[in-house]
Amino acid sequence: MLDLKEKLAPQAASATPAIHTVELAKRFGKTMALAGLTMTVPPGEVFGFLGPNGAGKTTAVKLLLGLIGPTSGEAWVLGAPIGDLAVRRRIGYLPELFRYQGWLSAREVLGVHCSLARLPRAHWKTDIGRVLEVVGLAERADDRVSTYSKGMQQRLGLAVALLGSPELVFLDEPTSALDPVGRHDVREIIRGLTEGGTAVFLNSHLLTEVEMVCDRVAVVDHGRVIATGTLDELLGGHAVRIRLTGLTPAERASLRRFGDVDDEGEWLTLRDIDLDHVPDLVAEVVRLGGRVYAVEPRKQSLEDRFLELLARPEEG
Amino acid sequence: MGLLTIARLTIWEASRRKLLLAVVALTVVIIGMSAWGFLKIWDLENNGHRVTVTEVRLISSQLLILIAFMFSFVLALSAVLLASFSLPGEVETGVVLSLLARPLRRAELVLGKWLGMAALIVAYAVVAGGLEMLVIDLDTGYVPPHPVQLLAYVSAEGLVLLSMALLLSTRLPGIAGGAITAIGFLMAWIGGIVGGIGTAFQNQAIEDVGIVSRLLLPTDALWRGAVFSMEPASVVAVAKAAPPGASANPFLATHGQPVEMLLWVGFWFLAVVALSVWSFRTREV
């Protein structure tokens, strides 16, 4: 397995972080588009950058690619300061709102990008064939892009981002124009990339998508990172909902020793509970004279957590 | 090299979008019609006598100036259209983001576009102008005294407008930049005539209008250089003997362009292209 990974891995699978930023900020006139982004994306990881529309996600990607200059702060991509031309050869990018040259065919668009990325000419044909196959555009590769549906254009964008086996791929809302089958395909492509050792920076507001593929997540709002960590860290453990009767308010409150109690009347929710303690919880309710009708273990969804984070007033 | 890729892409786009086809088709029609027209000059009569060879060549020389004027106009408008919409279109569609995320400098993008369009402009001027001169030569035996200079002047006029439109397109929407360049072109033409009137009436202030307009947008100076390169010695002699007001006539030139003016045009190109690069580099995309 390790062997296979090494074969698929891009040139330098070192310990250098794929992305490292320190207080990276961007201001457009009076608007603070990104306020002090500090984060590290390890190589080979899928990093989800989550936030509502207008949170500063696209600004962050443009800054990291050197398409716009930061107002303050520093950042390194694949070990080089942002904007480094040589490093761009090792990066793939799918922009958010884009239309490729409609007067070219998909194969020609890819050819132009091979040339701009300075890939060895001998590899163009096989690499173009490979990425067309991966995104499922091989059959329409010689049609003009102007005849493509939005979903096909997005697949083409993905193919462009995959050219040359990059070490880091930025995907800005990669599934916004895709149907469920297309979204599934994109998830498979992202998984394939990480198996090859490529780091993926995924900008999205589609939470289920992020939850399914990302190792690590940062949540941004109003240009500020309001939470970051692995999915497990962010979702903060398990919760149990229990439907019961026959306990006094004091007895209900005493269950606090199993986890944070959220008393909804008929239902009690215990957050951050160790799942091994659920039988003890039920036994305790029965010992106190309560009657248990239902016990539902549940993991907090990213959506719940996301809404919770956005609703919380800013802390400093 | 990124610059050449962009230049090739620019030429490719012009041909795929049928711009080249349209211009080439129209040019073939114009040259075909002029081939027929110039042959008809031999049928003209003067007081019952057939026109002489000298007369035919004199008429041809004047007609060529008018045809060159029309070609330079087509070239000017094509240059403005090509250059005004290219960058703004790519910024709007996001194509520019995908290009600049590659190891491509912004300067290479701007210079590559300039180079690609400049190649189209020069190729059109040389091919269309060369064919027209060939047709006239075959019909009447007339060849303008400085054909290479003529092609160079007409090409340079197109390149000036191309550069101006490209500079404006780094910041303005295509329609705005295109309109400003087209109006600037016409104003420079009128500025040249106004300057000539200033010379005729020995009014320094009005003469300066012409000089300033030529320095800002040197299309009129280049056009007059083109006119001079098309004038046979007999016409130049007539022009020189004419009163000073003749210099207001945009189809008559009494002298060629001074070296200083040509140097200024060279500097103007460098400055405008450098300004375009700077302007696009400092723009948020």
B103: distance to nearest CA of chain A, Å? 5
Helices (H), A88-137: 106-116, 121-135
Give the residue-averaged pLDDT of A76-95: 93
3-state SS, residue B253: coil
In percent, how much of chain A has pLDDT > 70? 93
B188-199 pLDDT tens trace: 999 999 998 998
For B101, the closest of A65, A112, A118 (CB atoms) is A65
Asked if A229 and A216 count as a contact pair (C-beta separation under 8 A), the reply is: yes
For B285, the closest of A67, A85, A157 (CB atoms) is A67
Q: For residue B18, name the pLDDT band (cuts at 50, 70, 90).
A: confident
Q: Residue B18's closest chain A neighbor by CA?
A: A103
Query: Is B94's CB within 8 Å of A96's CB?
Result: yes
Residues of A whose CB is below 8 A from B104: 85, 116
3-state SS, residue A236: coil
For A101, the closest of B13, B97, B101 (CB atoms) is B13
Listed residue (A9, A3, A39) closest to A224, CA to CA: A39
Q: Which is more confident, A126 or B254?
A: A126
Listed residue (B185, B7, B2, B54) closest to A119, CA to CA: B2
Amino acid at A241: R
Tracing tokens 């939850």 back to the chain, one arrives at: A211
Listed residue (A233, A183, A225) closest to A208, CA to CA: A183
Q: Which of A78, A87, A101 to mutate to test the interface with B (most CBs of B within 10 A)?
A: A101
pLDDT at B241: 87
Does A114 score more than 50 pLDDT?
A: yes
Does A235 score more than 80 pLDDT?
A: no
Residues of A whose CB is below 8 A from B116: none
Cα-based distances in Å from B114 to A54, A250, A297, B233, B271:
35, 80, 65, 37, 14
For A67, the closest of B16, B100, B103 (CB atoms) is B100
Sign of the four-CA dihedral B148, B151, B156, B157 = positive
A186-203 pLDDT tens trace: 999 999 898 989 999 999
Q: For residue B46, name the pLDDT band (cuts at 50, 70, 90).
A: confident
Is some CB atom of chain B closer than 8 A to the CB atom of A160? yes
What is d(CA B68, CA B129) in angstroms, rounded to the nearest whole number? 8
**Residue B171 exposure: Cα atoms within 13 Å on the Cβ side:** 11
Q: What is the ipTM of this complex?
A: 0.87
Query: Is B97's CB within 8 Å of A157's CB?
Result: no
In percent, how much of chain A has pLDDT > 90? 49
Does residue B170 come out as left (phi exceeding 0), alpha (psi in the -120 to 50 range) or beta? alpha
B246, burial (CB in 10 Å: exposed 0-12, middle 13-18, buried 19+) = middle
pLDDT at B238: 86
Query: Is B105's CB within 8 Å of A85's CB?
Result: yes
Q: What backbone phi and psi angles, to 5 degrees, belong to A83?
A: 95, -5
Does residue B222 come out as left (phi exceeding 0), alpha (psi in the -120 to 50 range) or beta? alpha
Is some CB atom of chain B closer than 8 A to the CB atom of A104? yes
A98: distance to nearest CA of chain B, Å? 4
Residues of B whose CB is below 8 A from A93: 97-98, 101
Q: Residue B7's closest chain A neighbor by CA?
A: A112
Q: What backbone phi and psi angles, to 5 degrees, belong to A248?
A: -75, 160
pLDDT at A79: 93
What is d(CA B252, CA B231) in angstroms, rounded to the nearest whole number? 8
Residues on B contacting A at a C-beta cutoff of 8 Å = 2, 5, 9, 12-13, 16-17, 93-95, 97-105, 284-285
Listed residue (A201, A196, A297, A293) closest to A247, CA to CA: A293
Residues of B whose CB is below 8 A from A118: 103
Q: Which tokens go with B56?
A: 């035919």
Mean pLDDT of chain B: 92
B21: distance to nearest CA of chain A, Å? 15
Is some CB atom of chain B closer than 8 A to the CB atom of A284? no
For B103, the closest of A88, A100, A157 (CB atoms) is A88
Q: Which of B6, B99, B100, B102 to mutate to test the interface with A (most CBs of A within 10 A)?
A: B102
pLDDT at A269: 85
Q: For residue A312, name the pLDDT band (cuts at 50, 70, 90).
A: low
Lowest-pLDDT range of A227-241, B93-107, B256-270: A227-241
Chains A and B form CB pairs within 8 A to the count of 66
Lowest-pLDDT range of A290-304, B23-37, B204-218: A290-304
The pTM assigned to this predicted structure is 0.86
Query: Is B103's CB within 8 Å of A98's CB?
Result: no
What is d(CA A102, CA A146) in angstroms, rounded to the nearest whole number? 4
Q: Which of B20, B98, B104, B109 to mutate to test the interface with A (most CBs of A within 10 A)?
A: B98
Does A14 score more than 70 pLDDT?
A: no
Domain coordinates in residue numbering, chain B = 3-281
A5: distance to nearest CA of chain B, Å? 26
Q: Residue B92's closest chain A neighbor by CA?
A: A98
Residues of B whose CB is below 8 A from A67: 97, 100-101, 285
Q: For residue B235, name the pLDDT band (cuts at 50, 70, 90).
A: confident
A257-299 pLDDT tens trace: 888 888 888 888 887 788 888 899 999 999 999 999 999 887 6
Does A4 score more than 70 pLDDT?
A: no
A156-194 pLDDT tens trace: 999 999 999 899 999 998 988 888 998 999 999 999 898
Does A11 score more than 80 pLDDT?
A: no
